[in-house]
Amino acid sequence: MKALESLSRHLQDERLLDAYLAARQGERLDPPVAEHLADCGACRVRYEELAQFMDLVRQEGETEADDIFTPERLRRQQMQIARRIEHVGRAARVISFPGRFVRRTMTASATPSAPRWVAAAAAAGLFIGAALGASYGWGVRGGYAVAGDRRMMPVATRGTTPGEVAADDAFLSELELALEHPHTRELRAFDALTPHVREIRDSQ
């Protein structure tokens, strides 16, 4: 009776899907369904269409994913996972930041931050540098005098007219007067290094 009923009605779509899933999982089909599929050509065609559609969707998805996740990529992924789980289960390290600086800061009040000889060496270096600089400055002043001599001579002899030479002399004298006693303290050092016209004149 039941067998006759199963033959007289076509299988519903739900039953076809269940049959497909069972077949895919390697399970046994429901006997009445299996029997019906064996006897009913229309349902068999519907089942095959469903299976074909499902297989196509599945195959496309898997192929697409497998093309992207190549064996090489999967190997890299596995290495990444291995690297990430390497520290799981190990006690966390506490890293003081910045470690050495913090220690030094904490002990700065107890001991000097730098040895004394460093300060002494710096002072000595400064002194020697200043002395050398001063002696070089004097040497340069002499050189300037000579060079200035060479340079100034053409100016003095270059004048085309006596009036122009007198005007230059007057201008230089004014500068001389203005710079003889500079009021700005910062300029005194430069003043000391600058050759004066009167010095050139006196040497002549």
Partner 1 sequence: MSGDLRPVADRTIDAAGVPEPTARGRAAVPPLSDDTQLAVAIRGLVERGEMDEARERFADLVTQHQRRASRIAYQYLRDAGDADEAVQDAFVKVFSHITSYREAWPFEVWFTRILINGCLDRRKAQLRRDRWMAGAEVSSADEARVSAANPGNDPEHRLLARERRSRIASAIDRLDGRQRTVFMLSHYGDCSPREISVMTGLKESTVRVHLFRAVRKLRGLLGAKS
Interface residues with partner 1 (CB under 8 A) are: 13-14, 17-18, 21, 25, 49-50, 53-54, 57-58, 60-62, 64-70, 73-74, 77-78, 80-82, 84-86, 88-90
Please state, in angstroms and as integers, the Cα–Cα distance from residue 49 to each residue in 30, 46, 150, 195, following that order: 19, 5, 111, 109
Q: Are 18 and 30 in contact (CB under 8 A)?
A: yes
What's the closest the beta carbon of residue 77 comes to partner 1, in angstroms?
6
Taking the least distance from each CB to partner 1, the nearer of 89 and 162 is 89
Taking the least distance from each CB to partner 1, the nearer of 68 and 177 is 68
Taking the least distance from each CB to partner 1, the nearer of 48 and 174 is 48
Q: Are 163 and 138 in contact (CB under 8 A)?
A: no
Residues 193 and 55: their CA atoms lie apart, in Å, by 98
What's the closest the beta carbon of residue 41 comes to partner 1, in angstroms?
15
Taking the least distance from each CB to partner 1, the nearer of 13 and 174 is 13
What's the closest the beta carbon of residue 42 comes to partner 1, in angstroms?
12
Residues 183 and 180: their CA atoms lie apart, in Å, by 9
Taking the least distance from each CB to partner 1, the nearer of 30 and 168 is 30
**End-to-end Cα spacing for the chain:** 146
Sign of CA dihedral 113, 118, 124, 125: negative
Structure tokens at 36: 């019906």
Taking the least distance from each CB to partner 1, the nearer of 91 and 106 is 91
What's the closest the beta carbon of residue 43 comes to partner 1, in angstroms?
13
What's the closest the beta carbon of residue 25 comes to partner 1, in angstroms?
5
Residues 81 and 70: their CA atoms lie apart, in Å, by 16
Residues 43 and 10: their CA atoms lie apart, in Å, by 6
Residues 84 and 94: their CA atoms lie apart, in Å, by 19
What's the closest the beta carbon of residue 81 comes to partner 1, in angstroms?
5
Q: Are 3 and 35 in contact (CB under 8 A)?
A: yes
